[in-house]
Amino acid sequence: MSVKLLLGPSIPGEEIELLRKHAEVLLLSEMGDGDLDAVLPKIDCLLVHFWPERLDAAKVSKMTRLSLVQTGLAGVNHIPFGALRKKVVVCSNAGGFSDEVGEHAWGLLLSAGKRVVKFDAAMRRKGFKPAPALELGRDILVLKGRTLGIVGYGSIGRKVAEIGKAFGMKVMEFSRSNAEEPGIISLRGRPGLERVLRESDAVVIALPLTKSTRGMIGEKELSMMKREVILVNIARAEIVDEGAIYCHLVANMKFIYATDVWWMKDGKESYAPELPFLELENFIGTPHVSGPSAAVTSAPQRRAVKNVLRFLGGEEPLNVVNRSEYA
Amino acid sequence: MSVKLLLGPSIPGEEIELLRKHAEVLLLSEMGDGDLDAVLPKIDCLLVHFWPERLDAAKVSKMTRLSLVQTGLAGVNHIPFGALRKKVVVCSNAGGFSDEVGEHAWGLLLSAGKRVVKFDAAMRRKGFKPAPALELGRDILVLKGRTLGIVGYGSIGRKVAEIGKAFGMKVMEFSRSNAEEPGIISLRGRPGLERVLRESDAVVIALPLTKSTRGMIGEKELSMMKREVILVNIARAEIVDEGAIYCHLVANMKFIYATDVWWMKDGKESYAPELPFLELENFIGTPHVSGPSAAVTSAPQRRAVKNVLRFLGGEEPLNVVNRSEYA
């Protein structure tokens, strides 16, 4: 009896053909609800990008044979862990987007630090008159010799660090890893996090969203940071407390929050946040474009498929998620 | 008889004291026109930041003893070479701003490539609805593996190249230098320039403005470039032909021109250009903040003073300008 694999949307055609050599492939998009209900108890593996709305808790409860969930995204916070049986192995696609997301972090950091967004908008207004040159210059963050803090040091954090070193920055990373790296200051535990926040001129959040990172940057943490600092988020919005960051931005005009990720409303990232961030001069936003700039090449999708093939071939899959951090 | 040194504005006080140990220092800002006329024929050295308006051709013609002009700026295109006697040695402050200006080039390049300026402005408009994720992603320039062209490979160009390598880009430089560098593709002469323009996904202009670089990027050169490309200018606006780039931007919406430098009007950089660049979505501008972000530390000014001290001590000064390229 062959392995049955259910695929969500956005897997490239040639990858589907590859999978068909090792499994019976069923496409979610081609199945009616009746067919789907009939087949769910027979599915062994599930490969999805973002978790499909159709697979609600009732449907998931019918997947009694399911042993592997592979997601095309690097983050797995969209997966309904509570509904999945305990035996199900969940694999992320961590590392699949690191170059592009790391680059985007630098796009946000420099757009903020070099005041490009602010000045470009100001110059477009009628009657723009610049401040004297030295005053303009004082407004700019010069990176060389300044401190870059990276909160979360996986493959995205490492990419961000490499660039920071090339800019001649002092790079600090906060993570749970035991490894230390030459040229990088590794900090651990709550005191480590606090030191990163206190000493950095720019901080990049590159953590997964888990039970313990949700709301990790709140009022207390923001108040530890320098008054003139840039906080970049290319991870998940919910790591930063929405109300706390809004109040902090209003009260500290030299603090800049630059983000590619947005708080969820009704299960979806909302580009119209509850609080009027988009009226603030010290806020910079892009509509979650970092991951998609990787996905256009299909390289992350191919990587996810490769991991499913490992599993189908009897090997240990990579990027197995510690479910206790999410459930 | 001691050496007489005339100082323009923006030299830090402690540097003036240092100079006083080796020369009789006269401050332009403290002299009336009568005093100035009396003293000009006795001046040996002149240290200025931007060339002072007061020192017009009539005044310069009176400086018969003048042997050194040192400028605090890296570019010397503001100096009235035509009015200066042939024997006058002119020194630039090349290298004094390289880290900050190189960083700013990256600020412009990434603000453009990652579409931060465009998306931030779009999101602030009421009723913003993003395109589907993959379409958004296709709009973003991913740097890794792409080609960075650097036109002019002095200390700013080198700084830009270092960061480009850290991003995993293929780096090409066009210059007159004979030196070659590992990991950098060196191209020379007109065919070299054309290759850089044809093959690059982003081009940074880092040349001085001289007789031969004025208008160097015109209609013909722009037409050689890729249709989707970013042209960054942190050098001098006049290296790019104003009319040609405007027409090119209007006709090629995927071509982005991101600049910190502006064309001159009445002897001054004008932030209100003749043509309506600031209405274009594929134009990004900052009001010449890159150099000032270095000058706020006074490090460039100290560097210029150091070079004057070399000269006063009988050493060959650094950064002597080839006047035939400017006159």
Contact flag B296-A99 (C-beta cutoff 8 Å): no
Contact flag B289-A142 (C-beta cutoff 8 Å): no
Residues A72 and A191 in one domain: no
- Total domains in the fold of chain A: 2
Q: Phi/psi of residue A50, each to 5°? A: -80, 145
Q: What are the chain A neighbours of B293 within 8 Å (beta carbons)?
A: 136-138, 140, 142
Question: Between helices B299-312 and B13-20, what is the axis angle to 10°?
Answer: 10
Nearest-by-Cβ selection for A284 from B104, B120, B167? B120
Tell me how long chain B is. Answer: 327
CATH number at residue A142: 3.40.50.720
The residue among A69, A67, A66 whose CA lies nearest residue A39 is: A66
- Whether the predicted pLDDT of B1 surpasses 60: no
Q: Name beta bridge partners: B290.
A: none
Contact flag B285-A123 (C-beta cutoff 8 Å): yes
- Cα distances from A138 to residues A18, A141, B243, B261, B291, in angstroms, run 56, 8, 33, 18, 11
Q: What are the chain B neighbours of A120 within 8 Å (beta carbons)?
A: 111, 117, 284-286
DSSP B195-249: HHHHH-SEEEE-----TTTTT-B-HHHHHHS-SSEEEEE-S-GGGB-HHHHHHHH
Among A10, A116, A279, most B C-beta atoms within 10 A, so best to mutate, is A116
Residues A166 and A304 in one domain: no
Among A73, A99, A110, most B C-beta atoms within 10 A, so best to mutate, is A110
Q: Phi/psi of residue A254, each to 5°? A: -90, -5
Contact A20, A61 (CB under 8 A): no
Please tell me which residue of chain B has the smallest CA distance to A260: B116
CA–CA min distance A284, chain B (Å): 6
- Cα distances from B65 to residues B68, B84, B86, B90, B250, in angstroms, run 9, 11, 12, 14, 52
Residues 6+ apart with CB under 8 A from A93: A70, A71, A72, A73, A74, A300, A303, A304, A307, A319
| Rounded-to-integer distance, Cα A238 and Cα A172, Å | 23
Helix, strand or coil, per DSSP, at residue B172: strand
Residues A50 and A171 in one domain: no
CA–CA min distance A264, chain B (Å): 16
| Mean pLDDT, rounded, of chain A | 96
Token representation of residue A269 = 């990232």
pLDDT given at position A167: 98
Helix, strand or coil, per DSSP, at residue A131: coil
Helix, strand or coil, per DSSP, at residue A165: helix
Nearest-by-Cβ selection for A119 from B113, B166, B286? B286
State mean pLDDT over B256-277.
Answer: 95
- A and B: number of Cβ contacts within 8 A: 190
State mean pLDDT over A244-256.
Answer: 98
Residues B87 and B187 in one domain: no
Q: What are the chain A neighbours of B289 within 8 Å (beta carbons)?
A: 114-115, 119, 133, 136-137, 139-140
- Whether the predicted pLDDT of A327 surpasses 80: no
Q: What are the chain B neighbours of A123 within 8 Å (beta carbons)?
A: 271, 278, 285-287
Helix, strand or coil, per DSSP, at residue A41: helix
Residues A11 and A27 in one domain: yes
| Rounded-to-integer distance, Cα B135 and Cα B76, Å | 45
Q: What are the chain B neighbours of A278 within 8 Å (beta carbons)?
A: 123-124
| Rounded-to-integer distance, Cα A144 and Cα B140, Å | 26
Contact A112, B117 (CB under 8 A): no
- Whether the predicted pLDDT of B133 surpasses 60: yes
Residues 6+ apart with CB under 8 A from B230: B109, B112, B113, B141, B201, B202, B203, B256, B258
Pairing mode, strands B202-205 and B255-259: unpaired
Side-chain-side CA neighbours of B182 within 13 Å: the count stands at: 0
CA–CA min distance A155, chain B (Å): 14
Contact flag B167-A119 (C-beta cutoff 8 Å): no
Q: What are the chain B neighbours of A271 within 8 Å (beta carbons)?
A: 123, 128, 130
State mean pLDDT over B224-239.
Answer: 98
Q: Phi/psi of residue B321, each to 5°? A: -85, 140
Note the pLDDT tens digit of each residue in A124-155.
999 999 999 889 999 999 999 999 999 999 99
CA–CA min distance A2, chain B (Å): 33
Residues A209 and A274 in one domain: yes
Token representation of residue A245 = 């960051």
pLDDT given at position B4: 95
Residues B262 and B313 in one domain: no
Contact flag A162-B163 (C-beta cutoff 8 Å): no
Contact flag A289-B134 (C-beta cutoff 8 Å): no
Helix (H) or strand (E) run with residue A302 in it: helix A299-312
Please tell me which residue of chain B has the smallest CA distance to A291: B137
Note the pLDDT tens digit of each residue in B293-318.
999 999 999 999 999 999 999 999 99
Residues A278 and A313 in one domain: no
Residues B72 and B158 in one domain: no
State mean pLDDT over A70-79.
Answer: 95
pLDDT given at position A1: 57
Note the pLDDT tens digit of each residue in A166-197.
999 999 999 998 888 999 999 999 999 999 99
pLDDT given at position B179: 84
Neighbour count for residue A120 (Cβ, 10 Å): 24
Contact B160, B206 (CB under 8 A): yes
Residues 6+ apart with CB under 8 A from A6: A26, A27, A28, A39, A43, A45, A46, A47
| Rounded-to-integer distance, Cα A261 and Cα A321, Å | 22
State mean pLDDT over B186-191.
Answer: 97
Residues A165 and A307 in one domain: no
pLDDT given at position B267: 84
Contact flag B107-A123 (C-beta cutoff 8 Å): no
Contact flag B116-A286 (C-beta cutoff 8 Å): yes
| Rounded-to-integer distance, Cα B217 and Cα B222, Å | 7
- Whether the predicted pLDDT of B254 surpasses 70: yes
Helix, strand or coil, per DSSP, at residue B194: helix
The residue among B179, B205, B193, B196 whose CA lies nearest residue B102 is: B205
Percent of all residues in chain A with a pLDDT value above 90, rounded to a whole number: 94
Residues A190 and A114 in one domain: yes
Contact flag A289-B165 (C-beta cutoff 8 Å): no
Reported pTM: 0.96
The domain of B16 spans: 4-96+297-325
Residues B49 and B24 in one domain: yes
- Cα distances from B23 to residues B6, B64, B69, B238, in angstroms, run 10, 18, 15, 37
Whole-complex ipTM: 0.96
